[in-house]
Structure 1
Amino acid sequence: MTISPEQTAWFTETFGLLADNVEQAILGKRHVIELVLATALTGGHVLLEDVPGTGKTALARTLAQTVKGSSSRIQFTPDLLPGDVTGITIYDQKRGEFEFHAGPIFANIVLADEINRASPKTQSALLEVMEEGNVTVDGVTRPVGSPFLVIATQNPVEQAGTYRLPEAQLDRFMIKTSIGYPDDGATLRILQGVTEPARQVASIVTPDTLVTMQQLARTVHVNPLVSDYILRLVDATRRASEVRLGVSVRGAIAIARLVMTWAAAHGRSYVTPDDVRDLAVPALSHRIILHPEAEFDGVTAADVVGQVLLDVVPPAENGAA
């Protein structure tokens, strides 16, 4: 069943309210806020890669504060262990039995700060939960709940004491984006104290509302021609001369789901080719591995996606049929 006009209107209004609420603390970054919200409402996870002091942590905290659910922050360090993320089982001598102590991963919104500073073993523990939606400790599997969103941050500038995320693990993030510096007008307002601290932003929706929106987003109509357009874009990344490894099937599925949420957020019950073009770079570029020669020449994965968007002809129809 396709989403109704009334449901689409409610979805769009609620999405706008969420974005407005987060924008109280993150000025001048509406597009990034909408990208993160759309990912959350699609059931994906976000990787924010940016230089220090641009608001990565503030964005994650503000989104967590906006939802009347549980949230947690994990500061990744080289000595962080997998059990510090997932939780551990401890023997209770008084009761004579083992008791599970849940880790910070058991929350609706989890901020994984500076994920590239933890060891690969600890990174894998987090990324496994992201993929499976549950935690298995000592043979017992426990669901982390729904909705479940991980917002991971990493600093691309400082490489000392960091562990680069392998490509297979990067592929588990639905989008990778950056906030960047605000423009002069937004910076001036920040200096004048116009922004609200993340902890003071009001909570305006419940986790159940997010779950309802996730379910509605999955009923947005996708024209077969739009699906074919996504397929041709993905295939073109694999055939590009600069690319050693193109977009995976997981990446194709990710953008196919994300565009449905993006369409509903912008007041439509159907996906258009423009929705695909809007989301191609954040949803696909981090899944591409370039040849060393191309990297040496200054080519980026975003450049490849941009060229593919120019080369692959979109369908003539708007996707409504």
Structure 2
Amino acid sequence: MTGLSEGSSGAPPWKQSNRMKAASLVALVVLMASLCLLSIAIGTRDVSWGEITAALQGHVNSIGEAAVAMRIPRTLLAAIAGSALGLAGAILQGVTRNPLADPGILGINMGASLAVVIGLAWFGMSMANAYVWTAIFGAAVTAVFVYTIGSMGRGGATPLKLALAGAATSVALSSFTIAVVLPRNDIAGSVRSWQIGGVGGATFDSIQLVIPFLVVGFVISLLSARKLNTLALGDDLAAGLGEKVALARASAGIGAILLCGATTAVCGPIGFVGLVVPHLCRLLVGVDHRWLLPFSALSGASLLLLADVVGRIIARPSELEVGVVTAFIGAPFFIWIVRRQRVRDL
């Protein structure tokens, strides 16, 4: 009986596990598509399915169709930004071997934000593409700075030192940003609104501007999966297996920097997505980055879409920015994850 029951499955356990992961990935795609439809359908103005269908076909003959047409780029940006932040969080946690790492805690988002604010206040930056390049530059400088500080002393770049260096840098950069904005009443209002983090002002032009950077970031990040699996074994063992540790870290880090910088340029700094999503996905699919990275991207998109929809519902007739909602969703969820016994295995 035992032999028959074991053989009846027709496949080894790891094959069954991969099938389940593939099925879960498809389910995530369906969930994300459903949330996209909800995002298009729900807003401050009620619209009919006929108006939604007409707007998706390019018609804007009524107020309802025009409202739906404005929600389409917002929905697209929420999905793209969420997937970028979720993927960047998984990459940073893999590079630093620190489950608490994310673009916010390591100060990368705040570095991108400060660079954009300095460009606006001191250099009169107005070109749209300049925002993206400046944000990526700020993210890169901050990442290098945090990693350098965290690498000093005995033991090199330990997870604890990186987290402390990132948290301290983030606080310092936030203070610098306030100091730069305070004397400039002409830009203070728009900068404060942008710093909350949101997708409400999305346009196809702004999305088209950051797409090339995000595509490169996605490709580099996904191609780093095997290297991250090797790095998870420890630097000495990874080097013994022939991995160039510094190059592997740098290449994966470049992918995360592109994703964080481009997303911050168009949305502002949005927190918690890159922290919570990789934890959840790791509990679902394990530590293999070949599965973890695509799961993190899809889950990040779903979380940000959900946060945007919730922000429109709970504050009608106005809206809550998505950055505020992700904090309310992410904080208790992260506490729940930390309290679970399985988090020790992360």
TM over 0.5: no
TM-score, structure 1 as length reference: 0.27
Query: Higher strand fraction: Structure 1 or Structure 2?
Result: 1
Query: Higher helix fraction: Structure 1 or Structure 2?
Result: 2
Structure number with bigger Rg: 2
